[in-house]
Amino acid sequence: MTLEDPAGAFCPHGKFEIAGAATGPLAGLRVAVKDLIDIAGHVTGAGNPRWLATHPPASRTAPCVSALLAAGATVVGKTITDELAYSLNGDNIHYGTPRNTAAPGHVPGGSSSGSAAAVAAGSCDTALGTDSGGSVRIPASYCGLYGIRTSHGAISLDGIVPLQPSFDVVGWFARTADLFEQVGRVLLPESPRPVLRRLLIARDAASVVDPGVAEALAQAIAAAQRLFGTAQAIDVAPGGDLEPWRQIARCVSAAEAWAIHGAWIESAAPDFAPPIAERFAWAKTVSAADHAQAEAQRRAIRTRVQDRLADDGVLCLPTAPGPAPRLDATGDAVEAFRQRAQRLTCIAGLTGLPQITIPAAWLNGLPVGLSLIGPTGSDAQLLAVARQLEHPA
């Protein structure tokens, strides 16, 4: 099988093939793997050459990859990630920015940028990513794909370079809802399946998104309302202001990121892109007291959201503030868009809840995604909703 990489999505050190089982539900399908996930015999590069040089080849393959291989999928290589997964833009100064074939001239989104770009370009059928602060959801939206942030703890993180352990989850991409669900049948654990009955529309999102996004998504929201039979508009955060929640997520996630990587950064002195270096520099300054206060606030947020969803509610909101930013966007414009995106992505991150994004609409010729957040453990049900929306009765 010859790897075709029109999007430049694969790492220089990640171009190899591992055949899966001869039979199985994913037999004949190609899967790419984010270069944050271990494959035995290969060094996991985590988006940074210094990391690549200071770590040995993996001794075993991550369980999520092994499950796909056992189901018949063939691994076609490792894909580019933002450095140590600490970004949402999808650019990498060392290995290049994967091309977003769904939105030429625009970023693919990160940190699972290569995985999303590879699926969008047709280099593979599905691809594994990880999501801490939006790293599957955002690139899925930008590249016009289905993507999932799974329930925290639902899929083993063994063999995956951590970033923010209480946020980190495995996710994947697909071009069709049928394959999206099929991969879930392989990766997700068997569990009781709550019946999702109520659709809740997040009013908070109105102040976050670009002009035209709400109108672009209206048809998809109406389809979801028809599926559930009714919908209720709510403010997710008190007063409809998600910015304090973003700040809480920023504090907790930064403290965790420095606890995980601080010692290596100070000893290995890696060459980071300026935005990544700035994030780690700030993470180092988060005090134990600030972290503890943010954790207490997080517990209150988790209770609030879980009370609203109970075991049968689904929260509907735009995945991102708008279509993918342009490749030539710089500085304050990139950071402002990133912060607006985090106001949307922090909801599931702070609560550990599953979230899917579906390729719902186009705005000015660029894809935009619509997200659904469900109760803990409702991952399979959300995948089924995606399929029902793609194939309405």
Query: In residues, how long is the chain?
Result: 393
Task: Report the side by side order of strands in the sheet with 232-234.
Answer: 74-79, 30-34, 126-131, 169-174, 146-149, 355-363, 366-373, 313-318, 198-202, 232-234
pLDDT for 1 equals: 64
Q: Which helix H or strand E contains 40, and what residues bound it?
A: none
Among the listed residues 87, 111, 112, 378, the single catalytic one is 111
Residue 359: HSE in the Cβ half-sphere, 13 Å Cα cutoff: 21
Q: What pLDDT does 385 receive?
A: 98
CA 378 from centroid of its chain's CA atoms = 17
Q: How many alpha carbons fall within 13 Å on the CB side of residue 146?
A: 22
What pLDDT, on the 0 to 100 scale, is given for residue 391?
92
The ranges of the chain with pLDDT < 50 are: none
34 is catalytic: yes
Please confirm, yes or no, whether 207 is among the known catalytic residues: no
**Other CB atoms closer than 10 Å to residue 54's CB: what's the count?**
13
The reported pLDDT for the residue numbered 190 is 87
Q: Which two tokens stand for residue 38?
A: 């271990």
What confidence score (pLDDT) does residue 71 get?
Answer: 98
120-151: pLDDT as tens digits: 999 999 999 999 999 999 999 999 999 999 99
Of 381, 379, 359, the residue nearest 103 (C-alpha): 359
The DSSP code for 316 is: E
The whole-angstrom distance between residue 17's C-alpha and the CA centroid of its chain comes to 24
CB 356 within 8 A of CB 146: yes
Q: Which of 115, 123, 132, 135 is catalytic?
A: 135
DSSP letter for each residue of 120-140: HHTS-SEEEEEESSSTTHHHH
Gap between the Cα atoms of 109 and 384, Å rounded: 25
Helix (H) or strand (E) holding 127: strand 126-131
Amino acid occupying residue 211: P
The question of whether 156 is a catalytic residue gets the answer: no
